[in-house]
């Protein structure tokens, strides 16, 4: 049985990072917890920053479409507003609860948002794969909402 020793000494952690994990102890496991914890903390910080950028970009996108910006931070309500901005009926949110169908409906909603801001199909592809970046372009860029919300009725 192998026991991991957790040494929170900064010098030993620098030694691990500089010489590699295998140089830390005969078993090579003494520094693993510190390195993994550091990696996890950095990953969490990165995810929080991306989430903040996403919500701010969504806030400005909603404001451009004539909806309240604060709706971007309310978990289910923001999807309902996105459906409205996309010009789709309100019951599309129910279709998002069905597995496999939700992928297709999600793409349709993103395409409706793209069309509402005067963008094409390639912009929808950008929203699918790089949503944070393309939402920021919509929210902070010169795009103007020209779509219709008549089908929503809710």
| C-alpha 50, offset from chain centre | 6
What is the value of pTM for the model shown? 0.74
Q: Where are the domains of the chain?
A: 52-140
- Residue 64 pLDDT > 90: yes
* Spatial separation of the C-alpha atoms in residues 14 and 94, rounded to whole Å: 52
Q: Encode pLDDT of 3-30 as tens digits.
A: 444 445 556 556 666 665 555 555 555 5
* Spatial separation of the C-alpha atoms in residues 43 and 134, rounded to whole Å: 22
């Amino acid at each position: 049985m192998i026991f991991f020793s957790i040494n929170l000494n900064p010098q030993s952690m620098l030694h691990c990072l500089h010489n590699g994990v295998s140089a830390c102890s005969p078993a090579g496991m003494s520094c693993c917890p510190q390195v993994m914890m550091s990696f996890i903390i950095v990953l969490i910080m990165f995810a929080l920053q991306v989430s903040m950028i996403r919500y701010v970009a969504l806030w400005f996108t909603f404001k451009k479409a004539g909806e309240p910006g604060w709706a971007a931070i309310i978990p289910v309500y923001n999807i309902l507003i996105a459906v409205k901005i996309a010009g789709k009926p309100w019951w599309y949110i129910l279709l998002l609860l069905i597995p496999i169908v939700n992928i297709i409906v999600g793409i349709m909603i993103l395409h409706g948002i793209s069309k509402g801001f005067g963008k094409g199909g390639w912009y929808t592809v950008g929203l699918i794969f790089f949503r944070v970046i393309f939402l920021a372009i919509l929210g902070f860029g010169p795009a103007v909402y020209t779509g219709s919300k008549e089908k929503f009725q809710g």
